[in-house]
């Protein structure tokens, strides 16, 4: 038995869909509906010159554990991220329709262990960073 997945783009008759609900799937977190360039290739802070510069003091092994989402990737609604290009490195929760900008270095919290996440945020307490002080 095949499970049918709800697709909001089929909610209205085809001739009215664009008028009544033009961005039907924007911000919905299921499957791979829509563009997902982050699924095409896996880029890390190690592979990104700007991230490498901003994370001076992080070992190559740590940099390889920090995924960087490519520009154009849609962020998952209510998921937590950090933009390494933001000098304050404030974590944020994505809202519907948010995408990675061209100059952003977005890291998804769900893909990084909590001690490394704390280091990315600038936490220096060794108990919260696995015994390794900040950058």
> What's the pLDDT score for residue 15?
76
pLDDT (tens digit per residue) in 57-108: 899 999 999 999 999 888 999 999 999 999 989 999 999 889 999 999 999 9
Tokens (6 digits) for 100:
């990675």
> What's the pLDDT score for residue 109?
95
Identify how many contiguous H helices and E strands the chain contains and give both numbers.
5, 3
Q: Please report, for the chain, the start and end positions of each structural domain, with discontinuous segments joined by +.
A: 35-123
Q: Kindly give the residue spans of alpha helices, DSSP state H, lying in 10-135.
A: 14-20, 49-54, 60-63, 114-120, 126-129
Mean of per-residue pLDDT scores for the chain: 80
**Helix, strand, coil: what percent of the chain each, to 5?**
30, 10, 60
């Amino acid at each position: 038995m095949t499970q049918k997945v709800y697709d909001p783009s089929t909610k209205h008759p085809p001739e009215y869909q664009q008028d009544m609900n033009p961005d039907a799937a924007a911000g919905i977190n299921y499957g791979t509906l829509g563009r997902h360039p982050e699924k095409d290739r896996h880029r890390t802070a190690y592979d990104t010159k700007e991230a490498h510069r901003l994370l001076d003091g992080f070992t190559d092994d740590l940099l390889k554990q920090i995924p960087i989402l490519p520009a154009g990737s849609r962020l998952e609604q209510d998921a937590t991220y950090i933009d390494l290009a933001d000098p304050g490195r404030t974590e944020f929760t994505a809202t519907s329709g948010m995408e990675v900008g061209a100059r952003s270095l977005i890291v998804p919290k769900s893909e990084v262990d909590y001690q490394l996440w704390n280091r990315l945020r600038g936490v220096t307490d060794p108990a919260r960073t696995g015994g390794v002080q900040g950058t």
